[in-house]
Amino acid sequence: MPSRKRLRPGAVVSIDLGDGEGVAFGRVLRPPLIEFFDDRAADAADVDISVIAEGPVAFRVWVMDRAVRSARWPVIGDVPLSPDEESAVHWFFRQDVISHHLFRYRSEPDDPAGCVEVPASFEECIELECAAVWSPEHIEDRLRDHFAGRPNRCAADLRPHLRLSDEFVEFLTKATGRRPTVTGFSRRFNLATFDGHPGPTDRTTITMGLSTMGSASWRGLPLGCELVVCVNAPDQASDPRALLRTVLLEEHRRSVTGERPSVVERDSVFAPGNAPHLLFTTSATPTPELIVEKGKFGDRYINTMQAIPLDDAELRRHDRNPGQFLLDLASNTSLSAYPRSWPG
């Protein structure tokens, strides 16, 4: 009968994935570090744990010890660590919540220093696990997602993320002649807002964080896109900040679930249901000073695109003839208006 035990190096645990998904396995390295194997079985009694322990590893993370102490994950045997495993150094990454600087981090209970932390680049951290202690419930979710071949939300949220550097804010300040008001609404995203730009009753808002979800690269650095929305005398429905929040959160959801295509594509429309809809383009803009292509800011390159609110009638015009609609829009003198007037 599986025993109720404490975490100890070499202990092999079984993890019931429930709903007929079988049993996964983990092995304790140096507590609380556990490695989880890229293999599962219908029943723990049907496996040779020495064979499991020689198989490929899916991931290694720190885990709360109640997973084993409570017998949620019963210990089903021991596979002692090899000398190489005992001396192995396991690096994680840590990201400062204020500065967003990245560090490589390791914690060694037997080391007099206790832990070692060194500054690191995004590229050095992208393949590392976060220096976080997982609950057994979240590990079980991650294993189910792993075997199903789908992204795991917790793992995605714990990836290192790039934040826009002060250089981007300085660019916005120089381009407009005034410093934006920067507000955040999540750990990853901010919005920079100018009230009274370019016209006295206009509100211009720029995303800060959308580019961190870009998958392209340019000259060896990440390349992503930020959006600019300008609306004259916005009401609650057409407030650029509300429109961009919708885009950012939907793009984040798709990046976590692996859905394609991206929400933001050049000369395409994001139509969430009710107007206003958003057309992404560089062909028509009331703020050309804020449109850049492959501008280098800190540790990445950024494109910016105008996001132009459309009503339902404009969306239908776009769907009938996208090329002609863009030409007509570029010649419209009330680009920042919503809804806008059209000649004739």
Percent of the chain residues topping a pLDDT of 70: 93
What pLDDT digit, counting tens, does each position of 312-322 carry?
999 999 999 99
CB 104 within 8 A of CB 93: yes
Note whether 143 and 285 are same-domain residues.
no
What pLDDT digit, counting tens, does each position of 142-184 carry?
999 999 988 898 888 888 876 666 788 889 999 999 999 988 7
The pLDDT assigned to 5 comes to 57
Note whether 91 and 48 are same-domain residues.
yes
The pLDDT assigned to 44 comes to 86
The pLDDT assigned to 1 comes to 45
- Is position 340 within any domain? no
User: For residue 139, what are its two tokens?
Assistant: 């590990």
pTM of the model: 0.61
Range of the domain at 193: 166-330
CB 173 within 8 A of CB 183: no
- From 100, 123, 157, the end of a domain falls on 157
Note whether 96 and 229 are same-domain residues.
no
Show the low-confidence residues of the chain (pLDDT under 50).
1-4
Note whether 132 and 213 are same-domain residues.
no
- From 132, 157, 182, the end of a domain falls on 157
- Give CA separation, 68 vs 12, 98, 163, in Å: 10, 34, 37
Whether residue 339 has a cis bond before it, omega within 30° of 0: yes
The pLDDT assigned to 333 comes to 85
Note whether 16 and 126 are same-domain residues.
yes
The domain total for the chain is 2
What pLDDT digit, counting tens, does each position of 207-240 carry?
988 888 776 889 888 899 999 999 998 888 888 8
CB 191 within 8 A of CB 183: yes
- From 157, 186, 218, the end of a domain falls on 157
Note whether 102 and 182 are same-domain residues.
no
CB 258 within 8 A of CB 124: no
The pLDDT assigned to 287 comes to 96
CB 23 within 8 A of CB 41: yes
| CA-closest candidate to residue 235, choices 279, 203, 200 | 203
Note whether 297 and 184 are same-domain residues.
yes
The pLDDT assigned to 121 comes to 79
